[in-house]
Structure formats: C-alpha cells, structure tokens
C-alpha cells in the first residue's frame, strides 16, 4: 500500500509509522530523518539544510522533491511505502503526482496543546533515531537508547521557538494539503490524541484491515 502520513509536527507520525511498517510490510520514508542523517554525517546536503531545519522552516521544494523522487525509484518501495513528512507543500504534492500514485492519505488530527506536550518531552536516539518521551515512553536507563545503546538527545528543532515556527509553517504551507487530498477522496482522518496502541487500532480501521 502507498500511503502518506500528513499532520502537524509532533502528531506521532514517526511513532505510528514504526508500527505500520510491521503491519503492512512496507518501508517508511521520513524526509526529516533523511535530512537529520545527512546533518549528522556532515554531507553537502546536511550542511545545506542544517540551519533551515534547526530554525523550524522547510527545506526548499526542489531539494526535497529530488530526494524523494530518487528514493521512490528504488526497488524496495515499488509495492508500497509510508511517506512520513512528505509532501509538505502543494508544489511537492503536485510533483509527487508525476512519479507515484498514492492510495491513501492518513491525516493526524491533534490540537496544538497535544503537539506541545509531545514535542516538549521528546528525546531521540542519536544512533538509531528512535523517539522516546519523558512521560509517555521513557527509556529504561536515563539518556541511553533501549534499542541500540545510543545516546539520547533533544532535537534542536524541539526548542520552543522552533516549535512555534514549525506550527506556523504547518498551518500556512502544509495544512492546505488536507483539502487537496480530501477533494480527491484520498483523505482518512485519524484521531491522533490517544496512546499509540489505540491509534494503531484506528489506523487499521481506517485502512479496512
Ligand atoms: P520531521 O522530522 O518530519 O518533523 P515533523 O513533521 O515536525 O514531525 P516530527 O518528527 O517532529 O513529529 P512526528 O509527527 O513524527 O511525531 P513523533 O512520532 O516523533 O521534519 C523535520 C524538519 O525537516 C522539518 O521541520 C523541515 O525543516 C524538514 N523537512 C522534512 N520534510 C520536509 C519536506 N517534505 N519539505 C521540506 N522540509 C522538510 O512523536 C512526537 C513525540 O510524542 C515523541 O516523543 C513520541 O514518543 C510521543 N508520542 C508519539 N505518539 C504518541 C502517542 N500516541 N501518545 C503519547 N506520546 C506519543
Ligand atoms: Mg517524525
């Protein structure tokens, strides 16, 4: 199945995607994770996008579209994928139409208060990228990843100023995609407020599986 996960920052897209890839046996493609890996590797892409991402703005459309187009040409995603965090602008959605046919768009519905609670407590493994939360999903040992033993850190774009910017950018540039896909009959809203296990149940219902 070819899916898009659409929603504000901190809605739980990455967290549900980890469960959904097991259920659907497809790959997750997170543009944010690809950019963070490039930043960690100090590659030319990483150097180019670091400041933009840390400040909470969007990377330019041409760079992001080229990255996703290249990834979607690979063998392992021909039968299905979860696009987590792409498209994020109408221009990106129109470009996606030219190289892939999406079957459903899962829209994560959550108020700003929920976003602030989730991003305020998020901690991420530097090595494997797993997302913890200081209240909802604590690591067994402080600052050490349960999965790979990596160091746990706070994303630079989870600072309060950057979170406000990301919410503003989401409203202006990404939220219009809700109507874009609803008008095509592809959108499926999901209540993103409950705990993860309940969201998984709602997700399966939304897909009719
Ligand atoms: P990206 O990494 O995609 O960030 P985002 O969309 O802001 O979303 P997050 O990853 O912050 O949140 P999430 O919805 O995945 O939530 P999570 O599961 O972690 O992008 C980062 C940046 O890259 C962008 O700002 C932009 O600069 C750039 N970029 C990326 N894509 C781009 C594009 N297409 N175009 C241009 N630029 C692009 O959950 C959050 C926290 O809540 C975690 O701590 C988690 O443990 C906890 N949690 C999750 N679900 C639950 C739950 N159900 N109950 C309790 N806690 C929960
Ligand atoms: Mg994410």
Q: Determine which helix (DSSP H) or strand (DSSP E) holds 143, and give its type and residue range.
A: none
DSSP β-bridge partners for residue 133: 122, 137
Q: Is 13 a catalytic residue?
A: yes
Alpha helices per DSSP H over the chain: 13-24, 31-40, 44-55, 61-72, 90-99, 112-121, 160-169, 176-182, 196-207
- Which pair of tokens denotes residue 170? 């989401």
CB 9 within 8 A of CB 115: yes
- pLDDT of 31 reads 98
Q: Which atom belonging to ligand 1 lies closest to the Cα atom of 7?
A: 14
pLDDT, one tens digit for every residue, the chain (209 residues): 999 999 999 999 999 999 999 999 999 999 999 999 999 999 999 999 999 999 999 999 999 999 999 999 999 999 999 999 999 999 999 999 999 999 999 999 999 999 999 999 999 999 999 999 999 999 999 999 999 999 999 999 999 999 999 999 999 999 999 999 999 999 999 999 999 999 999 999 999 99
Contacts of 73 (CB under 8 A, 6+ apart): 99
DSSP reduced 3-state for 162: helix
- Residue in this structure with the two tokens 């890996």, named with its chain if needed: 37
- pLDDT of 32 reads 97
Say if ligand 1 is within 6 A of residue 129 CB.
no
Say if ligand 1 is within 6 A of residue 152 CB.
no
Contacts of 155 (CB under 8 A, 6+ apart): 36, 122, 124
Q: Whose CA is nearest to atom 49 of ligand 1?
A: 12
- pLDDT of 57 reads 97
Nearest ligand (C-alpha, residue 122): 1
Say if ligand 1 is within 6 A of residue 157 CB.
yes
- pLDDT of 64 reads 98
- pLDDT of 117 reads 96
Nearest to 201 by CA among 209, 24, 193: 209
CB 92 within 8 A of CB 105: no
Q: Which atom belonging to ligand 1 lies closest to the Cα atom of 5?
A: 14
């Amino acid at each position: 199945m070819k899916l898009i996960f659409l929603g504000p920052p901190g809605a739980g897209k990455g967290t549900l995607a980890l469960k959904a890839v097991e259920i659907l046996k497809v790959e997750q493609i997170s543009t944010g994770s690809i950019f963070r890996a490039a930043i960690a590797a100090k590659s030319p892409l990483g150097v180019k996008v670091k400041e933009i991402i840390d400040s909470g703005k969007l990377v330019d459309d041409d760079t992001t579209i080229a990255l996703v187009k290249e990834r979607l040409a690979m063998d392992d995603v021909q039968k299905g994928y979860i696009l987590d965090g792409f498209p994020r602008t109408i221009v990106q959605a129109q470009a996606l139409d030219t190289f892939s046919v999406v079957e459903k768009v899962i829209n994560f519905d959550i108020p700003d208060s929920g976003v602030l609670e989730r991003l305020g407590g998020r901690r991420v493994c530097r090595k494997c990228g797993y997302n913890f939360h200081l209240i909802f999903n604590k690591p067994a040992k402080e600052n050490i990843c349960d999965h790979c033993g990596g160091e746990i850190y706070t994303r630079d774009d989870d600072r309060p100023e950057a979170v406000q910017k990301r919410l503003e950018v989401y409203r202006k540039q990404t939220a219009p995609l809700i109507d874009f896909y609803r008008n095509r009959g592809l959108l499926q809203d999901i209540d993103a407020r409950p705990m993860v296990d309940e969201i998984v149940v709602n997700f399966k219902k939304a897909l009719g599986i």
